Structure 1
Amino acid sequence: MAIATTPANIQDLMRKAKVKAEEGDYIEAIQHYDQVLLLQPTHAQALGDRGLVRANTGDRRGAMEDFRQAANLFLKEGCMTHYEVVCSYMKQI
């Protein structure tokens, strides 16, 4: 059964991912972010958040890939505050 691509579904998946990440269930959090990105591959926030989770699991390469993509998308969208935050994460890796 396919997940419908609606903003509500994406928001629900993002919420679930954040909760799982806060609980330290990084595998489940990544799975939720992956679902968001299957529905909307250019979801910059999901990429940035998944990058943080990947960094917490020690996946530096995966984190950097996500951060780079998120930074490029935030820059393209004109979201400079988010862009700068993601760039600061990249410097910490």
Structure 2
Amino acid sequence: RGIVRDELGDKPGAIDDYTQAIKINPNYANAYYNRGIVYYQLGDKQKAREDLQRAAQLFMAQGNTAFYEGIMAFLKEL
């Protein structure tokens, strides 16, 4: 639902949905990633960095090195 809200321009609603998903499953890397991107789009680089770093950690722990490397490359530009 967060993705749909984001696509509709409801970024605060998207953040709320991603936050709820993280509360349900704290190891849900995609929710951290998506929320981090929304924070970035809103100009909150600190929160974006925190979420993206957490997503990268989770992706690495889950063996998803492609996503990990992509996020790390993005963080270097942040």
TM range (shorter): over 0.9
Task: Tell me the equivalent position of 1:26.
Answer: 11
Give the AA of the match of 2:20.
Answer: Q
Which TM-score applies when normalising by structure 2? 0.93
What is the SS of the residue equivalent to 1:24? coil
Q: What per-residue deviation string (whole Å, max 9, x for no partner) do you get for residues 43-87 of structure 1?
A: 111001100000001110000000110101111111011112211
Match of 1:41 in 2: 26
| TM-score, with structure 1 as normaliser | 0.79
Comparing 63-72 with 81-90, which one deviates more in the overlay?
81-90
Query: Structure 2: 5+ residue runs without aligned partners?
Result: none
RMSD: 0.9
> Which letter maps to 1:61?
Q
For residues 6-49 of structure 1, give each alpha carbon's deviation from its aligned partner in whole angstroms, at most 9, with x where no partner exists: xxxxxxxxxx1001111221100000000000100111110011
Which runs of at least 4 in structure 1 moved beyond 4 Å after TM superposition? none
Q: Percent identity of the aligned residues?
A: 35
Whose Rg is larger?
Answer: 1
User: Distance between the aligned counterparts of 1:75 and 1:47, measured in 2?
Assistant: 13
